[in-house]
């Protein structure tokens, strides 16, 4: 099974962590999409900041995010509107009740979308422009067209412009509001709206006939005057105070329907608080009281009010009509445009100083804000917290060792003529170009053969299954070979086990942050808490699993296995001072790499450098090896030494030894992550 990079929330209210996940197979009526761009919406950082307080059904680990644009990698049964390779955008619903947040979240390189909530991206839109649509568009459509809300007819080809009545959109420059203005106009209604003076022209350019300053004390009177005697169908309320303002407008103009598309107060104050519940009580009390008051006011005036939930389109007959018919038609004829394009601006990608300020609106009580755009880059993983992302841009961990559309093929087995020719012909046949080739035979007369090939193949992810099938057929016909094929754009998931000595642990975290290691680090597990804060400062989850007293380590090992199994591709023991049992090594099911000072056979026990000093050694060094059930006798990956003299103290030996350990372990990790190490018996071949 192939895998892909993802930014997961490993636990409730935790920072996002770069990791890899198995790439899912689309079920019937689903499409698997390679993500090219996503947008961060306010609900994303609210979910992260409050987690089960507001989304009590959400299990972790979870992938957040709703807005996706990319291209189709695979389609499930019954999918008729899309083909592999086609550019699409759609609404990811992984954080909804009953959904799978790892399969269906947006913040990963590959995600599953429902065909019902997906549309083809026209050539006129970039992926970045398409990615700002899904959640805002869906929420606006629910408010306008669902029978429980305004119940308007969907836009059609021959809809007359502006003769069906008036729709009020309070908060026209929010992401939902900008879509609501355009959709209502396309459905044949006049639109009156609100915005700040700074964004009034933007909202007018989207189709609003009149725009009042939402901060003005006369805003309600201004809109009522603009409406005049024309019939009002209903209102969409977005932003703090919007519900009461819309009720006043509807009561004075005869409108009877109100769609509440935001909470009356922002939840932003809850995000990131260490003590959540003391802050939650007054916030939710204010929201509850304000909502109850508004609903009662609406009922007394004969107005039907209801809350909007954008992802309800998944199980609604409106969803496939909107995404399959209406949205493509409106994009094609120019009646639906990315809001940023309306006034000549474009959404900026990560790191661009001219990017519009990040979102805190679109349904959370704020005005004049839309989703924050993040252009997905296959070689990068998003790490950190969305609260910081919306303020400063996403925290990223990039590695030049990760290569999009590059694959690594490892072949080993019995040497025989024709292996190189068969592999080279296969890669050429599959449209690949070899960029690195290493091979070794310990005996050309039928000995053991080893090969590592890196090749470039455009659109590798889509071709990956076909290449694997070709390899199975080609190398299985007349050869005695084993092989593995790896996508070099996907980092391996590396867990670290550590104890009190932190020099190797912190070195790996530092190298990872610099992008020197093509891995993700989903967790650090330690039997001590001394490094907890340092680890978390790198944005990596820290788990404390105390060692079980006595010789029986089964309880602590069982807890570690719960954390690791299925979530990592290999494990590094960064001076983890516990012996792992054969049972643990069997159950973990992935390679385990260890580092130790090379004196262990001669200087067993504690303080090896003190004993080395007393012995008068002239060389000290370190060894990194794979862990087996035979203590410190696994296949060696890397070794190194430094020369010392009688003048070096025990402390100096320890310092210089720690330097060697860091270097040796980091090289071993890098080589393993790049698939340069092939195990053969109890030794290794390193290309």
Which residues carry out catalysis? Answer: 632
**17-22 and 210-213 beta bridge pairing:** unpaired
Return the DSSP state at 15. P
CA atoms of 47 and 395, how far apart (whole Å): 18
Contact 285, 104 (CB under 8 A): no
In the block, which residue shows the tokens 């012909």?
425
CA atoms of 336 and 326, how far apart (whole Å): 10
Give the tokens for residue 333. Answer: 């004829």
Contact 239, 262 (CB under 8 A): yes
**Pick from 231, 236, 287: nearest CA to 258:** 236
CA atoms of 570 and 87, how far apart (whole Å): 34
Give the tokens for residue 496. Answer: 């670290």
CA atoms of 196 and 190, how far apart (whole Å): 20
CA–CA distance from 611 to each of 3, 169, 490, 652 (Å)? 47, 78, 44, 13
Question: Which strands form 190-195's sheet, in the order they lie side by side?
Answer: 210-213, 190-195, 166-170, 232-237, 257-260, 304-307
Give the tokens for residue 232. Answer: 């009002």
CA–CA distance from 480 to each of 168, 471, 542, 676 (Å)? 72, 13, 44, 21
Return the DSSP state at 409. E
CA atoms of 456 and 432, how far apart (whole Å): 5
**Pick from 45, 93, 86: nearest CA to 68:** 93
In the block, which residue shows the tokens 């005036």?
301
CA atoms of 210 and 191, how far apart (whole Å): 7
How does 639-667 read in b/e, with b if 16+ C-beta sit within 10 Å?
Answer: ebeeebeeebeeeebbebbbebbbbbbbb
Contact 652, 658 (CB under 8 A): no
CA atoms of 168 and 222, how far apart (whole Å): 12
**232-237 and 257-260 beta bridge pairing:** parallel
CA atoms of 360 and 344, how far apart (whole Å): 22
Contact 24, 32 (CB under 8 A): yes
- For 347, phi and psi rounded to 5 degrees? -65, 140
Strand-pairing partners, residue 623, are: 596, 639
CA atoms of 602 and 539, how far apart (whole Å): 39
In the three-class reduction of DSSP (H, G, I as helix; E, B as strand; rest coil), residue 539 is classed as coil
Strand-pairing partners, residue 90, are: 68, 118
Q: How far is C-alpha 183 from the chain's CA centre? A: 30
Distance in angstroms between the alpha carbons of the first and the last residue of the chain:
25
**683-686 and 677-680 beta bridge pairing:** antiparallel
CA–CA distance from 280 to each of 60, 120, 269, 360 (Å)? 21, 41, 9, 18
Bond before 61 cis per omega within 30 degrees: yes
């Amino acid at each position: 099974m192939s895998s892909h990079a993802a930014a997961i929330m490993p636990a409730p209210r935790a920072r996002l962590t770069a990791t890899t996940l198995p790439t899912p197979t689309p079920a019937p009526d689903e499409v698997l999409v390679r993500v090219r761009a996503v947008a961060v919406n306010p609900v994303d950082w609210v979910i992260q900041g409050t987690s089960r307080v507001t989304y009590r059904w959400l299990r972790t680990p979870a992938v957040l995010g709703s807005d996706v644009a990319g291209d189709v990698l695979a389609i499930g049964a019954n999918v008729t509107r899309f083909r592999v390779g086609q550019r699409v955008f759609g609404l990811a619903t992984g954080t909804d009740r009953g959904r799978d947040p790892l399969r269906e979240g947006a913040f990963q390189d590959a995600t599953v979308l429902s065909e019902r909530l997906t549309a083809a991206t026209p050539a006129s839109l970039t992926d970045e422009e398409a990615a700002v649509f899904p959640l805002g568009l869906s929420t606006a459509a629910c408010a306008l067209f669902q029978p429980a809300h305004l119940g308007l007819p969907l836009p059609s080809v021959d809809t007359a412009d502006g003769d069906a009545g008036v729709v009020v959109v309070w908060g026209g420059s929010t992401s939902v509001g900008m879509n609501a203005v355009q959709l209502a106009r396309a459905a044949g209604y006049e639109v009156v709206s609100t915005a700040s003076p700074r964004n009034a022209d933007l909202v007018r350019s989207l189709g609003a006939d009149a725009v009042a300053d939402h901060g003005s004390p006369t805003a309600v009177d201004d809109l009522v005057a603009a409406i005049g005697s024309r019939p009002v169908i209903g209102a969409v309320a977005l932003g703090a105070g919007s519900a009461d303002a819309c009720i006043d407008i509807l009561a004075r103009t005869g409108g009877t329907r109100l769609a509440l598309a935001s909470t009356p107060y922002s939840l932003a104050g809850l995000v990131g608080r260490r003590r959540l519940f003391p802050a939650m009580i007054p916030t939710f009390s204010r929201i509850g009281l304000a909502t109850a008051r508004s609903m009662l006011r609406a009922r007394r005036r004969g107005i039907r009010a209801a809350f909007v939930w954008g992802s309800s389109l998944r199980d609604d007959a409106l969803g496939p009509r909107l995404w399959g018919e209406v949205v493509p038609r409106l994009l094609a004829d120019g009646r639906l445009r990315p809001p940023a394009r309306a006034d000549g601006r474009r959404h900026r990608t990560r790191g661009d100083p001219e990017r519009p300020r990040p979102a805190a609106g679109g349904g959370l009580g704020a005005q004049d804000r839309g989703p924050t755009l993040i252009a997905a880059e296959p070689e990068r993983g998003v790490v950190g917290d969305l609260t910081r992302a919306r303020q400063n841009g996403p925290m990223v961990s990039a590695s030049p060792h990760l290569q999009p559309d590059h694959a690594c093929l490892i072949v080993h087995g019995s040497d025989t003529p024709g292996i190189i020719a068969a592999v080279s012909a296969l890669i050429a046949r599959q449209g690949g170009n070899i960029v690195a080739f290493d091979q070794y035979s310990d005996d050309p007369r039928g000995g053991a053969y080893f090969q590592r090939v890196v090749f470039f193949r455009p659109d590798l992810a889509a071709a990956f299954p076909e290449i694997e099938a070709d390899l199975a057929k080609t190398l299985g016909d007349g050869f005695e070979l084993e092989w593995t094929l790896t996508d070099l754009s996907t980092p391996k998931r590396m867990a670290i086990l550590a104890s009190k000595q932190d020099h190797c642990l912190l070195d790996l975290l530092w190298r990872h942050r610099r992008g020197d290691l093509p891995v993700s680090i989903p967790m650090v597990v330690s039997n001590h808490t001394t490094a907890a804060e340092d680890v978390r400062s790198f944005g990596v989850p820290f788990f404390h699993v105390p060692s079980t007293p006595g010789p029986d380590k089964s309880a602590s090992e069982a807890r570690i296995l719960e954390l690791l199994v299925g979530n990592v591709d290999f494990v590094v023991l960064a001076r983890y001072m516990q012996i792992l049992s054969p049972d643990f090594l069997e159950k973990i099911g992935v390679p385990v790499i260890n580092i130790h000072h090379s004196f262990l056979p001669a200087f067993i026990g504690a303080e090896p450098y003190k004993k080395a000093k007393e012995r008068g050694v002239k060389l000290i060094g370190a060894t990194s090896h794979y862990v087996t059930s035979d203590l410190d006798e696994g296949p060696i990956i890397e070794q190194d030494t430094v020369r010392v003299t009688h003048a070096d103290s025990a402390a100096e030996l320890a310092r210089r030894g720690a330097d060697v350990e860091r270097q040796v372990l980091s090289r071993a990790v890098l080589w393993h992550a790049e698939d340069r190490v092939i195990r053969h018996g109890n030794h290794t071949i390193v290309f």
